[in-house]
Amino acid sequence: MFLKRSFDIDKQYNSNKPSSIPMQIQKIFSTHIYICISVRMPGKTVWWWIGRGGGYKDIIQSDDQPESRLRAKDISLDWLRARLKGVWIDSIVLDKENSILKIKSLNEEKEIYFGYKDNVLNFIDITKNEKSLSLFFSKSGNHEVVLPPINLDFDIVKQAEDINPLSKNNDWLNTIASKSSSEKERKLTRKIKNIKKDIEKLKLYETLYDVARNPDSLENMSIYNLENIKIKFKKTMNIHQKADLIFGKAKAYKKAIEIQTKRLEETIKQQQKKDDYLVNDKPFALNWRFNPPKNKIKDDPSDVKAQYFFNEDFKIAIGLNAKSNDYLRKTWAKKGDIWVHIENSTGAHLFIKSKRVPDLSEWECFASLLKEYSKYPATEISIVWTENQHVKPIKGKAGLVKFSKEKRLSLNYKKEWMNLLSLRSN
């Protein structure tokens, strides 16, 4: 079942006797590089720091808990909290030679193993039944029923000695914060510059007030320009309406100065508090699967019913049923190819590959082809066409589509369409 390495669980942990006093998993936190689990036992709380992977593949028992400034959240943390928080356990044991942590529930019906696979932290969740084991592996998201004994599909990782996880987190944080600080400094400097520029523009409200109070100069204006301010007037406006428009603009600018000044003060304070820059990096991704991947059912080309034509200028495909229409749209036709259909009618979908748009006589032939394969009764044919990238399926309804950026043509039926285009079929 597993590929790289295996060992018998019972044999590996036979020497580690479980505690006679039950323990409880109380808190689960995460930093950017560790998962942190607290286990409460009488008179003492122990923290397990489990590296997320990458350069952090250490599992460490410590008295230190992660400080709030180090904590980060992701979906993996939420899942672990829902599954493990508050659980009573019989034992929690570290295999230092392989960097594997084993957690055994109080009733011995469940065991969870944390270890490393392909450089990333993973876990195996085992639920014991009478005769078999139900196994869940986070890397694949697959649930399997197996017979004991089972093997663990983890990579061999040598456990380093004398590691302080809190110091390691702080070192990581300082490195990232330094990069984040420089980037944040540049952004704030640019923001302050832009706000000051906006305030200078808004200060022109005084000039606008003066113009509104003395509007004679606006009489023959269609546009009022003041430095980089441009106010357009409607042709029907009289001089007083123009003055009202400018007065309203001046009033809005005056109010905006207060808002922008407040923004400037807050941004300058933020720039001065360099120690408060936040690290926005996401935690090291675990990419756990909580459900098995869905297998997409691929269309079988052998089931497709379609007719194909070609000449020197065109390659043409026409679907003979709804399923085939969908297959041609998704698989045969590319984004820039042409999709054609008879407007407001059910029937075949036509797809055209060409380096040019057909001319009118060629469109008549294509419309005639559609008429025959759609069993369309009229001799005047209204078609709609667009590029295939603008055609989207309607979920759950085979052959039905919605389209955009379409063009329409009304054309006459040409019985000799195949000869006119010198088409050959294959």
pLDDT tens digit sequence for 325-370: 999 999 999 999 999 999 989 899 999 999 899 999 999 999 999 9
**Mean pLDDT across the stretch 225-241?**
88
Contact 422, 309 (CB under 8 A): no
Quote the CA–CA distance of 330 and 83 in Å, as a whole number: 41
**Mean pLDDT across the stretch 258-276?**
81
> What phi, psi does 170 have (nearest 5°)?
-65, -40
Residue 169 pLDDT greater than 50, yes or no: yes
Q: In Å, what is the CA distance from 123 to each residue of 50, 81, 105, 225, 375?
A: 11, 14, 15, 67, 60
For residue 399, the SS3 value is coil
**391 closest CA partner among 422, 344, 349:** 349
The CATH classification of domain 9-163, taken from the options 2.60.40, 2.30.310, 2.40.160, 3.60.90: 2.30.310
DSSP letter string, 52-83: -BTTB--EEEESPPPPGGGB---HHHHHHHHH
pLDDT of residue 159: 67
pLDDT of residue 5: 35
Dihedral Cα 307, 311, 312, 316, nearest 10 deg: -30
Residue 1 pLDDT greater than 50, yes or no: no
Residue, of 281 and 289, whose pLDDT is higher:
289
Quote the CA–CA distance of 393 and 323 in Å, as a whole number: 12
Q: Do domains 9-163 and 180-276 have the same CATH topology?
A: no
Contact 386, 403 (CB under 8 A): yes
**12 closest CA partner among 90, 100, 125:** 100
Mean pLDDT across the chain, nearest whole number? 82
Quote the CA–CA distance of 239 and 220 in Å, as a whole number: 9
Contact 368, 415 (CB under 8 A): yes
In angstroms, how far is the first alpha carbon of the chain from the final one?
Answer: 47
Contact 29, 167 (CB under 8 A): no
Query: At residue 23, what is the residue type?
Result: M
- Alpha carbon 254 to chain centroid, angstroms: 42
Provide CB contacts within 8 A for 236, sequence distance 6+.
none
Residue 383 pLDDT greater than 50, yes or no: yes
pLDDT of residue 201: 87
| 245: β partners | none
pLDDT of residue 367: 94
Q: What's the token pair of residue 312?
A: 């020197």
Q: Give the angle subtended at the CA of 18 by the CAs of 108 and 23, to the nearest 5°.
A: 75
pLDDT of residue 141: 67
Confidence band, pLDDT 50/70/90 cuts, at residue 288: confident
Quote the CA–CA distance of 151 and 350 in Å, as a whole number: 55
pLDDT of residue 247: 92
CATH code linked to domain 180-276: 1.10.287
Query: At residue 426, what is the residue type?
Result: N
**Mean pLDDT across the stretch 378-406?**
92
Residue, of 154 and 35, whose pLDDT is higher:
35
Confidence band, pLDDT 50/70/90 cuts, at residue 143: low
Model-level pTM greater than 0.75? no
**Mean pLDDT across the stretch 413-420?**
91
**105 closest CA partner among 86, 122, 123:** 86
Query: Domain segments of the chain: what residues?
Result: 9-163, 180-276, 301-425
Contact 73, 285 (CB under 8 A): no
Q: Give the angle subtended at the CA of 25 by the CAs of 24 and 28, to the nearest 5°.
A: 165
**22 closest CA partner among 108, 121, 143, 134:** 108
